[in-house]
Every structure is written in structure tokens, then in C-alpha cells.
A and B are shown apart, each in its own frame.
Chain A
Amino acid sequence: MRRVAITSCATSSFTKASKNTLLELACDPCVEILRKDNLSTKDIDAVLFSSCATDQYSSSILCEMMGIHPKISHRVDNLCNSGTNAVVSAYALIASGLCDSALVVGAEKSDSQGNKLQWDLTRGSFMFPVHWAAIFAKAHMRAYGTTEEEMAMVSVKNHKNAVKNPVALFRNEVALEEVINSRKIADPIKLLECTSACEGASALLLQAEENFHSLDNPVFIQGIGQHTNSASFANATSDLTSIEATKIAGKRALDMAQIKISDIGIAELHDAFTILEIMAYEDLGFARKGEGGKFVNQQQLAMNPRGGLIGCGHPVGATGIAQVAEIAAQLAGKAGNRQVKQCLHGLVLNLAAAGSSASVIVMGV
């Protein structure tokens, strides 16, 4: 297989609402990539559009708006996982030789269909994501003594990181007491421990190694792991303190990259709710089982440097792409005022629907 690199990325501002249509939003980061890298639309072989919106024929409409006539174009929808799934598909198109380059674009409006899941009969009358997250949090607290303060610290950390991110929805720090005293949504989860639905767009340019148009600090995709356990909450994971799909996807990605979790210096983890970041520490192997809560205050690794979903907001189809864009920018040394120490390897974890599916992408320079 050919090596595949992320050679450019752009993310537009995540906001509560605007008058722009979904596809107008999607054009913003695409135009930014074409302009800053002085690319021709002829340089793009594939356009993959990630969104949970049900707008018909959206990928082809986006291509026409951008003046791109790709070999391959389609929409990818896999709820919150859509963006990382689109990156995986783009990787496969290039690694296989079917395409030499792919523009991966994610966009969502605030009123996305992905925010409430009417199809999952197993959730009964409690259909919102916060409801399953609260069950996970209760179980983790009961089994391992994880505290409300430890969970709240995830929010404090990610809000602090988001202050440095010009495209984040929330650019204000929050104090521990503020998080703990914020309105309870589903016990023990409070308002400031939840991500927020918003609109936004993000895009990446993936290219085959021999076809780089920009040789400036390419970041390679070195490992991919993806796993679908179920779609329903009932069958997502048997142990409520752990997400099985994350464990499997993480191991696959690290095995493919031929590295260990201790080689990862920076990560973007799916933190739609604070407990999920704590579970991700454990399920990926950054922390020992049951010690994720204590791991929140560690200083050695950069976790969610862009602010995560809690600080940035969660435009569903754009999130996975913005996560990958952040790690690519950080590894390339192009993260501006939020650049962390140089790392050789970074990781993205994205989830959908109570962790019923997970994607892990390992990148490196």
C-alpha cells in the first residue's frame, strides 16, 4: 500500500447558528485549503463529505459549488463518527491507488438529526446522549470511586485549552466550582460537562506520498482502527465502565502503526461528556483501569489541545475531521499559539452512539 499523508487542513469557526446553508459552511474550509496551498481543483481526485444532515446529493452539490470534478465523491454518515470514517475511506482510496488525493470535508448545522436518536428502541423514553453517558458515569463512580471533581476537571482543562483556539465555540475558562455547581442534566452530569450542538466545518487534504503538492511538513496516517459493536445502547458494551469498541479500535490502530500507546505524545479524544475522556484514558491504555479520574491532572501528555468537543462544540459531521486536523497541525508544528511540545506520534479517538462504534487514527511525522 502507498503511504498517505495529510498535507493541508482548515477549520472554520464553530458557532451556534448562522444564515449560511450546510453546503455554504462546507465550502469555507475547502476554499481556505485551495487558496493557501495554491492548489488547482484538478489536483483533487476524490471529495468525501461527512455530515449527518439528510440533504440529498450533498457531496455532488459541494463539488459543483467548488468547481471540482472528482473521480469519486459521496457523503459519509455514521453519526458522531462520520468525520473519522470519511478520513478512513479517503485513506483507503489513496492507499489502494484508486485516487492520488482526496479532499475530506465535514459540516453540520446546529439542528442536526444526529442529536436525538429516534431509532434506538432500547433507550426507552431517555433518548438523549446525556442519558447513556450518565449511566456510564454512575457505573464508573460506583466501581472505581471516580469523583465528580475528577470529571469536572476534564471540563476545566478542555475549556482552558479552547481559549487558545480561535475557532472554538467556547473561549472562556471555567472554574472547578462553576462546573460542579452548573445545572444538573442527568445525575451526575452537569451542564458544563456536556458538549454543545453547534454548526461548523472542517476539511483535510490527503495525498499519496509520491504526489505531494506541498512538501512542507507532511503528517502521515500510520494506523487505523475501527470497530462497530452495535448501533443500540443495549448492545454497545457489556461493561458499563468501559467502551469495548475503543479498546479494539485502539489496539488495531497501534498494531498497524507498529507503536505502543506510550509512544503517543498528543491526542484528541471524544469528550462529548467528561466521563468519556476518563474512560478513553483507560480503554486506550494511557491510564490503568479505574485510574482514569486521577489521570486528568497529568501534565506529560497533551490531551484535547484544541479544547475537545466540550470546548469547541460538536458540529457532528465536522468533529472527527477537526480532531484529525488538530493533531496533523500539532505534529507538523503549525498549531500556532497552542502548539505543544513536538511529538512524533499523535492519536485521534472518535465515537458514535454510546460508543457502539469507535475509530482510532494514529498519525506521525
Chain B
Amino acid sequence: MLPVCISCNFRMWPPSNYCSRCHSKTALENAETSGILIEYTKSFLPGNEGIYGLVDMSGIRLIATFDTSELSKGQRVKMVNCGINSDGTAFYLFEPFLS
């Protein structure tokens, strides 16, 4: 779900109750859950390890988590789960589309 402007249909990301373009109210709508992997790398930070990358879903960008290192820049990826971690941060688990 993503806040979308009730007037101009602009998708607000990060989420907000007002549209940043026309300042009308937003309402939650189902959002696209696939996009393009713009860049990716691997974190070795203790307690915060993992493969991650920047995904662009028609202009909505976020840092996604991946369970695989078999990735390539520009490939299509899809969200398979999202939610809130125990430390309060968000997670967006993505995987590549099967070719």
C-alpha cells in the first residue's frame, strides 16, 4: 500500500498524508511491487550484514534486502515480503524474476 494523491494521483514516497505536488490529501492504494535493480552491494557491518540494493519501481525508490548474491544491475526484481524489524526499521525483501 502507498499513499496516492486523491486529486492528482501523485504517489507519495516516503509516505505522507499530503501530496507534495498539489497539497491535496492522500489515500492508501495498492502499489506496484516490482521494479529495476539500480545498484547493489553487500554489508559486512556486524549485526547488519546482508545483500542490499536500490530498487526503482517507476520512480519509487527504496533499499531492498536480497537473500541471494546472484544479482545484476538493471535486472527486474519483485517484492516478496515487507514489514517492520524488531529494531523498528522497515524491511523490503526482494528477489529477481526468474528468467
Contact = CB atoms under 8 A, between A and B. Distances in A.
Nearest to A122: B62
A159 interface: no
A56 interface: no
A126 B44 contact: no
B42 A187 contact: yes
A187 B13 contact: no
Contacts of A344: none
Contacts of A125: 48, 50, 52, 63, 65, 85, 89-92
Contact of A118 (B43, B52, B62, B89): B89
Contacts of A338: none
A325 interface: no
Chain B contact surface mostly: strand
B45 A124 contact: no
Band of interface residues on B = 20 to 34
Given A125-B65, A125-B89, A138 B14 contact: no
24 contacts: A118-B88, A120-B14, A121-B90, A122-B61, A122-B63, A123-B89, A124-B90, A125-B48, A125-B65, A126-B43, A126-B65, A131-B52, A132-B63, A135-B53, A138-B40, A183-B44, A185-B43, A186-B41, A187-B41, A188-B41, A232-B14, A234-B13, A234-B60, A234-B61
Given A125-B89, A126-B65, A185-B44, 11 more contacts: A121-B14, A122-B62, A124-B52, A124-B92, A125-B50, A125-B90, A127-B48, A130-B45, A131-B63, A233-B61, A234-B60
